[in-house]
Amino acid sequence: MAEDFIGSVKEIEQEAEALMEQARSEARTILEEARRQADDILSRSLPLDEVRKEQEKIVQTARSQAETMIENARRQAEAHRKAAGARLEEVVNLMLTYLKGGKSSSV
């Protein structure tokens, strides 16, 4: 009974970590693309002020997208952790009931 719960909690935590890693990976990809675009713009023969403005705009957009993705992944991970915590409390209560000699329902 406890092993099943521990396995479930570990699965939830692994899913949360996977979401965070996916968000980080996508953020890195976005930033790499922004750098490539900035390099492309810099390689053109445009006025330097215009290039810098465009570069900053691209990088700022990429950072904003990356931050949004990471924050969404954090929220999802927190929801998974809360669900695991609620499940843990339920299992502990069932175990206490069982140990006290009461009847328990399956988890």
Q: Please report the pLDDT score of residue 41 as a whole number.
A: 79
Q: What is the pLDDT of residue 5?
A: 63
Question: What local confidence, expressed as pLDDT, does residue 44 receive?
Answer: 75
Greater confidence (31 vs 1) lies with 31
**Is 24 inside a domain boundary?**
yes
At 64 the pLDDT is: 92
Instruction: Confirm whether 83 is domain-assigned.
Output: yes
| pLDDT, tens digit, 9 for 90 and up, residues 2-36 | 677 667 777 888 888 888 889 899 999 999 999 89
Q: Among residues 70, 78, 89, which one has the least CA distance to residue 31?
A: 70
3-state secondary structure (DSSP) of residue 74: helix
23 lies in a domain? yes
- The per-residue pLDDT for range 55-92, each reduced to its tens digit, is 899 999 999 999 999 999 889 888 888 888 888 888 88
Average pLDDT in the 95-107 region? 72
Q: Which domain holds residue 24?
A: 2-99
Neighbour-count burial for 72-91, b at 16+ CB within 10 Å, e otherwise: ebeeebeebeeebeeeeeeb
Identify whether 105 is part of a domain: no
Kindly tell me if the per-residue pLDDT of 104 is higher than 80. no
- Asked if residue 21 belongs to a domain, the reply is yes
Is the C-alpha dihedral spanning 93, 98, 102, 104 positive or negative? positive
- Total number of domains constituting the chain: 1
Q: Assess if residue 104 is contained within a domain.
A: no
